[in-house]
Amino acid sequence: MEILVTFWRFLLVLLLIGIVFVGTPARAQAPPSITLEAQAGYDGAGTYRANFWFPVAITVTNTGGDSVGVLSWIVPGDSAAGSFEYVLDLPRGARKRVMLPVVITGSSNRVRLTLRIDDEPVAQESILLNRIGMERPTLAVISSDATVLNSLQAARFTPDANTAVVRLAPDLLPDDAALLAGLDAIFIHDLATDGLSSAQREALLLWTRMGGQLILGGGLRAERTLAGLADVSPVDVGTLRANAPAAGLADFAQRPELAAELPPLTVNEVRLREGARALDGAGLLTARAEGAGQIIFAAFDLAALRVWSGEAVLWEQALQIEPRAHIGPAFRWRGDNLLRQTLQRGLVWLPSPWLVLALMVAYIAVIGPLNFLLLRRLRRVELAWVTTPLIAIATLGLTYGGSVALRGPEARVVQVAIVQGFEGGATGQATAFFGIFSPTRRSYRLDFAAESLITPSSLGSFEVDPLTVRRDATSSSVPELLIDVGSLRSMMVEQMVGDVPQVESDLRVEGGFLRGQVRLGGDVPLRDAQIIVGAASGSIGDLQPGMAAPVDLRLNQQNFPFEFQSSDAGLVYRNQVLTSLFGFDRFSLGNPSVQSQQGHPDTRGVYLLGWIERPTLAISVHDNSVGQQGETLVIIRLHHNGARP
């Protein structure tokens, strides 16, 4: 009987061991409850432009229980790159798609995307990237045909850099124009634009008005291309005409010897709208200015010229890509600290050297002769060993207390912002440089609007520290910014804003002069206003709301920004801000150089510059709104009657 019991015990042990060994692989092979998919870059395959924001579309599927996840975008091996996070609710059965805007300043070609729940990684994906240097002109093509406009890689818009061509994925079209800023031109070949959301459409048009070039293809696909953009087309489109001669395109491309290679085209009959112009003699290419950019309509299918050897030079002539003042990318590229360079007064009052000297003399007099004379008068000189350290301790206490009183108990925030807009538009691009002064060594949580794009680094005196930027559906924040005692750290935030000052102008070019007038609307004056054309500047003083100021600017001057003297009455040295922005070649195509010419990079444009004596973007510290000291430089592109002043 005892042998039988032992046998059954042995079998039971073997059964338990088998259950353990069989069950363990089953659990290891069980399907995960959360899956992660990501499409990064303009094309969804990782293509991005250095120092420019680009979209990352992330789809998270949860087949498990309710949870809250944190998506983390980290560049492995680059401790200075900072990181991005997105917090999202994941109820059971949820499938959520979020758009995470990111920027990369280095040359990394791989990032790691991780989803964490309760600080534990539950899903991870390694993403390969394809970097485009910020000096390269970058053109995007939206087409279901991967071979359309491939010849654009041979186009030379600058002698210093090759042209990059990317395939822009329609489902990655963002609803924020800032995520398109890295693209100089966008060709739409066969996208049904009526399928765009209103936010995507407005982002595309705002990108154009801020200086982009939008090319709409015609021919048999004209109806699809114009379905959602007909109101901004430079032409009214009529019937199709087959076998139309195309030799005029060769003449426009300045390659008439290639006319014989051109096949007859099926083209749309067009009628120019007000403000539009034909680029070629036959009206196969037409254009109309849209803010600082332009919209071009090609009356033929964009794929029709793919076998023509002159296709690249044709678009070189049609686009005429010019430099644009990309403020954020330029400062990320150089790592400049605009606040440190231009802040006119400190955030705390500091005693003068003479006052410090007087205090030192008084301390020496008290701890030395006065202390001795008083003790001798009391005939208690032996107490000097007590009174001397007490005087030293009291002095230290008073000094520390005075220092704390001067610094104040709370953090202080300053801001200098640059707002770029265009005449007739209320929406523009703001680039704000925030400075946070801390009276003590402390970590701060900073909150901004949900649409804010926060560069994941902060600047001290000369060092750059990485930051973690966190987003959710309602806000963008920096959860932790460590600031040393009595230090000022600065950071850069970009955001589209809707309160750009309204300006009306009536300007014309006459015999080497720009003449006419500008009128300011709204209720906020512009201080130290001036008109800029390239490196030529003319002051019009303080521009009051409702006031029309005359303009009479000689265009062959080379006086901007160094010779213009503003009042410098505010928070920052205004002249120094202008010099930092436009005193050297910060923005040109190719490789910018400090030896290159000064002035606004868009030599075709006429601009109104002026100062508003208030900050532009809001900030909260630890969930509390804080008062800011701030100034805003407004740069508005104006209409004028000359293509090139």
Output the CA–CA distances (angstroms, integers) from residue 139 to 273, 373, 525, in the order listed: 26, 84, 39
- The rounded percent of the chain whose pLDDT value lies above 70 is 85
* Total length of the chain: 645
- Nearest Cα neighbor of 419 from 613, 609, 200, 205 is 609
DSSP string, 470-526: EE-SSEEEEEEEEE-TTEEEEEEEEEEES-PPPEEEEEEEETTEEEEEEEE-SS--E
For residue range 291-309, list pLDDT tens digits in order.
Answer: 889 999 999 999 999 989 9
Q: For 219-248, what is the mean pLDDT?
A: 93
Q: For 590-617, what is the mean pLDDT?
A: 84
Cα–Cα dist 100/113, whole Å: 11
Q: What is the mean pLDDT of the chain?
A: 85
For residue range 483-514, list pLDDT tens digits in order.
Answer: 888 788 899 999 999 989 999 999 999 888 99
Of the two residues 157 and 373, the one the predictor is more confident about is 157
Q: Please tell me the predicted confidence (pLDDT) of residue 21.
A: 40
Q: Residue 362, SS3? A: helix
Of the two residues 33 and 121, the one the predictor is more confident about is 121
Q: For 7-31, what is the mean pLDDT?
A: 40
Q: Please tell me the predicted confidence (pLDDT) of residue 409.
A: 55
In contact, 294 and 283? CB cutoff 8 Å: no
pLDDT bracket for residue 555 (50, 70, 90): very high
pTM to 2 decimals?
0.86
In contact, 587 and 574? CB cutoff 8 Å: no
Per-residue pLDDT for 363 more than 50?
yes
For residue range 307-325, list pLDDT tens digits in order.
Answer: 899 999 999 999 988 888 9
Q: For 548-576, what is the mean pLDDT?
A: 86
Phi, psi dihedral angles at 158 (to 5 degrees): -150, 145
pLDDT bracket for residue 32 (50, 70, 90): low
pLDDT bracket for residue 402 (50, 70, 90): low
Per-residue pLDDT for 327 more than 70?
yes
Q: For 145-167, what is the mean pLDDT?
A: 91
482 forms beta bridges with 443
At 410, list the tokens: 């709370």
135-321 fold: Rossmann fold (3.40.50)
Cα–Cα dist 126/38, whole Å: 9
C-alpha distance across the termini of the chain, in Å? 112
Q: Please tell me the predicted confidence (pLDDT) of residue 305.
A: 93
Q: For 409-415, what is the mean pLDDT?
A: 81
Number of H helices, E strands in the chain: 11, 36
Of the two residues 395 and 632, the one the predictor is more confident about is 632
Q: For 592-616, what is the mean pLDDT?
A: 85
342-347+411-497 fold: Immunoglobulin-like (2.60.40)
pLDDT bracket for residue 339 (50, 70, 90): confident
pLDDT bracket for residue 356 (50, 70, 90): low
CATH superfamily membership of 34-131: Immunoglobulins (2.60.40.10)
Q: For 397-416, what is the mean pLDDT?
A: 68
Cα–Cα dist 75/31, whole Å: 28
Q: Please tell me the predicted confidence (pLDDT) of residue 463.
A: 76
pLDDT bracket for residue 404 (50, 70, 90): low
**Amino acid type, 368:** G
For residue range 439-450, list pLDDT tens digits in order.
Answer: 888 899 999 999
At 631, list the tokens: 């100034």
Per-residue pLDDT for 17 more than 70?
no
pLDDT bracket for residue 400 (50, 70, 90): low
Specify the range with the lowest mean pLDDT, choosing from 263-277, 369-383, 475-489, 534-548. Answer: 369-383
Per-residue pLDDT for 526 more than 60?
yes
DSSP string, 556-579: T---TTTT------SSB-HHHHHH
